[in-house]
Amino acid sequence: MKAWQIGMVLAALLLLAGVPWYGSDVLVQFGINALLLAVLAQGWNIIGGYTGYASFGNSVFYGLGAYGVAIAMVQWQLPFGVGMVFGVVLAVVFAVLLGIPVLRLKGHYFAIATLALSQVMTAIVSNVGLAGQNIGLVLPPLNNDPLFYELSLGLLTVATLTIWGLTRSRFGFGLIAIRENEEGAAVMGVNTTLYKVLAFALSGVFSALAGGIHAYWITFLDPDSAFDISLNVKMIIMAVFGGPGTVLGPIVGALSLSAISEFLSSEVTSIAGLFFGLVIVAAVVLMPRGLADMIRRLRKTGWRYFSENIRAHRL
């Protein structure tokens, strides 16, 4: 990265960090949601974008993180920080235990297995007494939106720095090699199973932390909201819209799509949903490699960029 790029990123970070001081309460609340979604998109980026495994089950990590915090704080009267650690431990255990068999599956099969796991988890948690069954848990309220905002921003920063570190490390190269050609990676000495599980777990750690922050902020959670399956799709769309397998793409995707959808849903809710769907359809056809790729290439190729994308993938 060049000096001016680092400067730009730092300036953007400062601008974001200042929101609680100059922005409205509504903006801060929107910000918390958008930043946590960006963390989820970044978490997904590790397993989906860099390793090439399209997980539809990252909502499980989010839910485990949320329940980790809720159970620790409500049932055991432990501080929030301990709850976050508990949530992360749950997520890592899940990633390792289920990752080992499920990461053997490829392509659609992996996607479907993870989707099914996320359905199973909702149903299982609905039957666990400690987790409040399907009634849910109510956390002690903490009315401090600026704190939650800065926590979310901090988490997103750490997640992004981690990914940036990945792109220049041996581990990250191993993941990319797996994505590009798993067998080729193995014969070059990449321990593919270990790397995939590590990537899944790392992706789970960030998702769980996001879930933990969200639970404490919202102060209430039940299985349907904690393991919300549509969350999977949201984070994937945001990552893919921005540019999967890039350091900043998923953030751009998450923030821009959150803003658009917030703006539209303040008008008519169902129109916002409809628009969301149309954006996805159009994006897949016109810019299948995401905003990051589009911005990079549009300057060189101009409008031909879109027709070239279609020509490359049509029957």
Least distance in Å: CB of 74 to other proteins? 21
| Residue 91, CA atoms < 13 Å, CB-side half-sphere | 36
The verdict on 245 binding other proteins (CB under 8 A) reads: yes
Residue 169 region by backbone torsions, left for phi larger than 0, else alpha for psi between -120 and 50, else beta: beta
Stretch in the footprint of other proteins (CB under 8 A) among 33-41, 142-150, 200-208, 274-282: 274-282
Which of 42, 59, 122, 258 touches other proteins (CB under 8 A)? 122
Which of 273, 295, 301, 304 touches other proteins (CB under 8 A)? 273
Q: What is the sign, positive or negative, of the torsion defined by CA atoms of 272, 273, 276, 282? A: negative
Which of 116, 128, 142, 259 touches other proteins (CB under 8 A)? 116
Least distance in Å: CB of 119 to other proteins? 5
Residue 9 CB contacts under 8 Å (≥ 6 apart), including other chains: 248
The token duo for 159 is 């997640």
> Which CB, 76 or 109, lies closer to other proteins?
109
With contact defined as beta carbons under 8 Å apart, do 211 and 232 qualify? no
Least distance in Å: CB of 60 to other proteins? 12
> Which CB, 10 or 278, lies closer to other proteins?
278
CA distance 242 to 160: 14
> Which CB, 117 or 159, lies closer to other proteins?
117
The token duo for 78 is 């432990």
The verdict on 15 binding other proteins (CB under 8 A) reads: no
Least distance in Å: CB of 285 to other proteins? 5
Closest CA relative to residue 59, chosen from 104, 122, 112: 122
With contact defined as beta carbons under 8 Å apart, do 60 and 227 qualify? yes
The verdict on 307 binding other proteins (CB under 8 A) reads: no
CA distance 50 to 179: 7
The verdict on 313 binding other proteins (CB under 8 A) reads: yes
Distance of CA 118 to the CA centre of its chain: 15
The token duo for 255 is 């923030």
Name the site residues for other proteins (rule: CB under 8 A): 48, 54, 101-102, 104-105, 107-109, 111-113, 115-117, 119-120, 122-124, 126-127, 134, 168-170, 173-174, 176-177, 179-181, 183-193, 229-230, 233, 236-237, 240, 245, 270-271, 273-274, 276-281, 283-285, 288, 310, 312-315
